[in-house]
Amino acid sequence: MHVIIENGRIIDPANQVDCVGTLYLADGKIASVINPPDGFQADMRLNASGQIVCPGFIDLSTRLREPGQSRKATFKSEVIAAASSGVTTLCLQPDTSPVIDTPAVAELIKELANKAGYRQILPIAALTRKLEGNELSSMLALKQAGCVAVSNAGAPVTNLLILRRAMEYAASHDLLFIFRPNDYWLGNKGCAHEGAVATRYGLPGIPDAAETIALAHCLELAELTGCRVHFGQLSCKRSVIKIQQAQKYGLAVSADVAIHQLHLTENDMIPFDSAYHVLPPLRTEADKQFLRQGLASGTINCICSDHQPHDVDAKLGAFPETEPGVSSLETLLPLTLKLVEQHAIDLQQAIAALSQHPADILRLNKGALTPGLPADICVFDPEREWQVNTSTWKSQGCNTPYWQQTLKGRVTHTLQAGKLIYRLHEPA
């Protein structure tokens, strides 16, 4: 199969390409950028004029709810949401049911992915057995079964000796450790940022120190163990400062931020509206600005969706009793483009944060338009507006604070290994 994507603005941050031209794909791989390969005969031509052509997005943190919670979402429903959002590779957090702590579960995920017709769902292995924080998981076997990293998802490892040993063991097998810092005790089962808003509404608070203290512990252990650490879903100012210092000092650490943290703060919360119930919680304006600066300076180099679809019942109740998380695959690109429009980052940085950098962190041979790499491509119209509603939304989880809002930036085509897995069916 030979594909031509014509006349689009090709942006490939890894190769410093930003020009209008044509992209040539052959047999599932990138064949050439701009210059046609000798004797290239296209089987399919896509017109991308007025649109941006870039590497498909790689999402470092998602929950597709299978296995175990198919009432919330299924691979079938969520891969359509991913494809329609230009996401061609999904990393799956290990807090499924059963937990991804045996090769059998990793195999099951591969099988479910194949059945859903989306071959790029990469399981993240549990760091500890059942995520209980007590015993090490069989990391090597899990790696061999296709897991790209280890993580304890949202579950705590309260014993630092166990955390140290887990990191040492992960380092022995050159496994990336993905860590969402949150001190269990300081978090105190809170549901909102410990600050003026939580105080006003009497909501149990989570101080930013719950994140920064856990992060500081882990940075020390990263140095002690030599483990490669990627910090997921940072939410506050002092986390950014700590990562910056560690990187300056020479530690091999990286970080991402969930897209909603770059746009929403505690002040945006509609009182007691469970759509705003997320973990880590929405914090202050100063935190948001620091996260944006961290992204601009490269301290934080990835943006993830932190996609967590829920069923209606999970979000129906008094705020503290509802389940945290937003369904966010489909808002990932428009909200990232909004950062560009607001001059927080430029378009190349935005695309790199969604493709090149996650690929680098996972050491995946993708995230760029280099000839020979898999043809994972996203084509989007940056100016096209659309409303978040039942007719446009694909995810089974409608839990988003952006419901009924109009967003700008719409994916028109998504290709995975050269195969068209999504095409926007709307009049132009």
Partner 1 sequence: MSTNLQLNAQGKLKHFLSIEGLDKTLLTEILDTAESFIGMNDQQIKKVPLLRGKTIVNLFFENSTRTRTTFELAAKRLSADVLSMSIATSSTSKGESLLDTIRNLEAMYVDMFVVRHGISGAAHFIAQQTAPHISVINAGDGQHAHPTQAMLDMFTIRQVKHDFAPLRVAIIGDILHSRVARSQIQALNTLGVAEIRVIAPKTLLPAHVEKLGVSVCHDLQTGLQDIDVIIMLRLQKERMTSALLPSESEYFRCFGLTEQKLKIAKPDAMVMHPGPINRGVEIDSKVADGAQSVILKQVSNGIAVRMAIMAIAMQKQGMVA
**Eight-state DSSP code of residue 127:** S
Least separation in angstroms between residue 207's CB and partner 1 is 7
Nearest distance from C-beta of residue 216 to partner 1, angstroms: 20
Task: Compose the 201-240 pattern: x for residues touching partner 1 by CB under 8 A, - for all others.
Answer: xxxxx-x---------------------------------
**β-sheet bridge partners, residue 377:** 55, 415
Per CB under 8 A, 319 contacts partner 1:
yes
In 3D space, the residue among 403, 350, 360 whose CA is nearest the CA of residue 18 turns out to be 350
Tell me how far, at minimum, the Cβ of 292 lies from partner 1, in Å.
23
Verify binding: residue 312, partner 1, rule CB under 8 A.
no
Burial class (CB in 10 A: 0-12, 13-18, 19+), 408: middle
Residue 55: DSSP 8-state: E
- Stretch of residues binding partner 1 (CB under 8 A), selected from 190-198, 256-264, 347-355, 384-392: 190-198
Residue 43, judged by CB atoms within 10 A of its CB (0-12, 13-18, 19+), counts as exposed
Taking CB under 8 A as the binding criterion, the range among 50-58, 199-207, 299-307, 330-338 that sits at the site for partner 1 is: 199-207
Residue 383 binding partner 1, by CB under 8 A:
no
To the nearest whole angstrom, how small is the minimum distance from the Cβ of residue 119 to partner 1? 40
Size of the site for partner 1 (CB under 8 A): 22
- 401: contact with partner 1 by CB under 8 A: no
| From 118-126, 159-167, 200-208, 294-302, span contacting partner 1 (CB under 8 A) | 200-208
User: By CB under 8 A, which span of 57-65, 109-117, 128-136, 270-278 interacts with partner 1?
Assistant: 270-278
Q: Which is nearer to partner 1, 53 or 203 (CB)?
A: 203
Quick one: which segment of 35-43, 90-98, 172-180, 271-279 binds partner 1 (CB under 8 A)? 271-279
Beta pairing, strands 52-55 & 2-12: parallel
Contact letters for partner 1, residues 103-132 (x by CB under 8 A): ------------------------------
> What gap in Å lies between CA 372 and CA 375, rounded to an integer?
8
Least distance in angstroms from the C-beta of 193 to partner 1: 9
Which sign, positive or negative, has the C-alpha torsion 339, 341, 346, 352? positive
For the annotated catalytic residues, the residue numbers are 306
Rounded Cα distance, 119 and 105, in Å: 16
Q: Which residue lies nearer to partner 1 by CB, 318 or 428?
A: 318
> DSSP character for 410?
E
**In the bound complex, what is the minimum distance in angstroms from residue 399's beta carbon to partner 1?**
15
Least separation in angstroms between residue 281's CB and partner 1 is 12
Interaction between residue 403 and partner 1 (CB under 8 A): no
Nearest to partner 1 of 188, 297 (CB atom): 188
Interacting residue with partner 1 among 34, 44, 224, 316 (CB under 8 A): 316
Q: How far is CA 281 from the centre of its chain?
A: 17
Which amino acid, residue 112? L
Q: Which is nearer to partner 1, 198 or 375 (CB)?
A: 198
- What are the C-alpha distances in Å from 142 to residues 62, 66, 235? 18, 18, 29
User: What residue spans of 226-328 are helical by DSSP H?
Assistant: 237-249, 285-297
**HEC per residue, 197-217:** HHHHHCCCEECHHHHHHHHHH
**Cα atoms found within 13 Å of the Cα of residue 15, Cβ hemisphere only:** 18
184 part of the interface to partner 1, by CB under 8 A: no
Phi/psi at 78 (5° precision): -80, -30
321 binds partner 1 (CB under 8 A): yes
Contact assessment for residue 8 and residue 14, using Cβ atoms and an 8 Å cutoff: no
What is the rounded distance in angstroms from the CA atom of residue 290 to the CA atom of residue 288? 5
Q: Interface with partner 1 by CB under 8 A: which residues? A: 194-196, 198-205, 207, 270-273, 316-321
